[in-house]
Amino acid sequence: QGGGSAVIDMENMDDTSGSSFEDMGEMHQRMKEEEEEEAAEGEAGAGEEEDGELLGMKGLRGQLSRQVADQMWQVGKRQASRAFSLYANIDILRPYFDVEPVQVRARLLESMIPVKMINFPQKIAGELYGPLMLVFTLVAILLHGMKTSDTIIREGTLMGTAIGTCFGYWLGISSFMYFLAYLCNAQITMVQMLSLLGYGLFGHCITLFVTYNIHFHSLFYIFWLVVGGLSTLRMVAVLVSRTVGHTQRLILCGTLAALHMLFLLYLHFAYHKVVEGILDTLEGPNMPPFQRVARDIPVVSNAVLNTTAKAIALTL
């Protein structure tokens, strides 16, 4: 019995040992499978992380591009609105036209009185209402002179020519004198130059209005020297007080005086002829109207008509 029991125990040991080996194999197999699953999950996680990083970079770039585009749009919109408000807001021009009629009248009288003190800069009115009204007044005087003179006006008015001449002189000569004043180191701004030259046209308006109604050349020369000379001396004295250096003063004031006085001569003597020449060039020479003239019937025609009448009378 003892031997039998030993054999049975050996068999049981063999069975248990076999089962334990099998269990160890299964556990080893499971561990390998788990390691493989973990490795696969790790690779998948790494791939997802890489994809997430790529998507994150793309999203960040898209967000940055949108922010930059929005910022540029806002900046452009702000600049456009600022520029529109700058040109559309009338308050910017209001200080240049905010003046009382009493002040305009006083400045018109002052434009005919030359200043004596040139040791310190003289004050210049920084407004454009008076000069603008003087330019329009000069336009009206030129049109009145065209009507009272012997100039033949054809097809339309001369408003455009007069406006172009007056405004061209005011704006063009003011710009040229401001550039020359800048070269000569004169202390004057563009608005002050426009105001100074505009009020200087007051003498031109008086001279032309009188001489267009009273046609005497001697009277024109008197007004040209006295009235036009006083307004020119006023402007010259103001520029002298704001310019340093004898050469600079001579260049600046001599140029202004010559242009201002010659413009008055041009308006009195040559403006009408120039305008008439322009009209002749654009519309052709002044042709007389078409008239019907009675023509003489030739003698041969009379003979034919008489013969025909006699033949008809004989047949009847």
Give the residue with greater pLDDT, 119 vs 295.
119
Mean pLDDT score across all residues of the chain: 75
Q: Is the pLDDT of residue 25 over 60?
A: no
In this prediction the pTM is 0.61
Residue-level pLDDT at 193: 94
Give the residue with greater pLDDT, 142 vs 29.
142
Own/partner pairs, 116-124, CB within 8 angstroms, 24+ separation:
116/237, 117/241, 118/237, 118/240, 118/241, 119/241, 120/241, 121/187, 121/241, 121/242, 122/237, 122/238, 122/241, 122/242, 124/188, 124/192, 124/195, 124/196, 124/238
Region 56-76: mean pLDDT is 74
Q: Is the pLDDT of residue 257 over 50?
A: yes
| Highest mean predicted confidence (pLDDT) among 33-42, 122-131, 147-156, 303-312 | 122-131
Q: Is the pLDDT of residue 293 over 50?
A: no
